[in-house]
Amino acid sequence: MGAVERIPCGFVNCYLIRNGDAAVLVDVGLASSRDKLLNIMKENRVKTVFLTHGHSDHTQNAAYLVEHTGAKVAMNFLDVPLLATGGAADLQSRGVSGRLLRGATSMMGGQRSEIPSFTPDIDLRDGMSLEPFGLDGTVIGLPGHTKGSIGFLLRTGELIVGDALMNMFLPEPAYIFEDESLLWESARRIKALGDVQVFFGHGKPLANAKWHLAEKKNGSREEKE
Ligand SMILES: [Zn+2]
């Protein structure tokens, strides 16, 4: 059985990773999901929250959940500056889907994109072992969507990618990003991980072989199966 459980929170996914008695929550969603997540954290005695990146839809409940559970927050500190702004201002977009998404993201303004302030405790870097958190896996650096985007690769064959890839319209590298060349580099890195199950920040999980079919090839988009 896999170690990763998907927790749909509106249009964004959070995940619970379990290994024996250890449990980590990955991403914390928007305010509307905070009590659901608090219950899950209490039930599973979650002591650490991982954040895949600094956008508000993945981080908004961090302060609330920390206050009520005493959990530590671990993320890549390159994304700390985004916590003050929600991060929408720094985004570029690709294609029609990207323009729509970027418009929607910046319209989220006001309360929805606000991130109640918290101070992350642990700086997660590419290649770090997850053993200190009781998990069997490593941190994978996946910059591009944001500078500090990270994923989590588990020995059980599961990979949480945050928004490095999205499965909203088609499963593809994110339509919105801070650095497009890094985004594609991270996508190639994911592809090279071979036979793993990919868990997205948005949309349903897929086998790793399924998403890259939509990658650009010779300037045109390869047909989906
Ligand atoms: Zn994002």
Q: 224 with 211: CB under 8 angstroms?
A: no
Using a CB cutoff of 5 Å, list residues around ligand 1, an ion: 55, 163
Mean pLDDT confidence for 131-160:
97
Q: pLDDT tens digits for 3-27?
A: 999 999 999 999 999 999 999 999 9
Distance, CA of 159 to CA of 30 (rounded, Å): 22
The amino acid that residue 70 corresponds to is G
The secondary structure of 87-122 as a DSSP string is SGGG-EE-HHHHHHHHHHHHHTTGGGG--------E
Look at the chain and report how many structural domains it folds into: 1
The secondary structure of 155-217 as a DSSP string is TTTEEEEETSEEESSSEEE-SEES-HHHHHHHHHHHHHT-S-EEEESSS--EEHHHHGGGSEE
Between the CA of 172 and the centroid of ligand 1 the distance, in Å, is: 14
Q: pLDDT tens digits for 33-47?
A: 999 999 999 999 999
Between the CA of 163 and the centroid of ligand 1 the distance, in Å, is: 5
Question: Is pLDDT of 144 > 50?
Answer: yes
Range of the domain at 191: 4-221
CATH number at 77 reads: 3.60.15.10
Question: What is the band of 134 on the pLDDT scale with cuts at 50, 70, 90?
Answer: very high
Distance, CA of 26 to CA of 12 (rounded, Å): 12
Mean pLDDT confidence for 117-145:
97
Most trustworthy range by pLDDT among 34-38, 110-114, 212-216, 217-221:
34-38
What pLDDT, on a 0 to 100 scale, did the predictor assign at position 188? 92
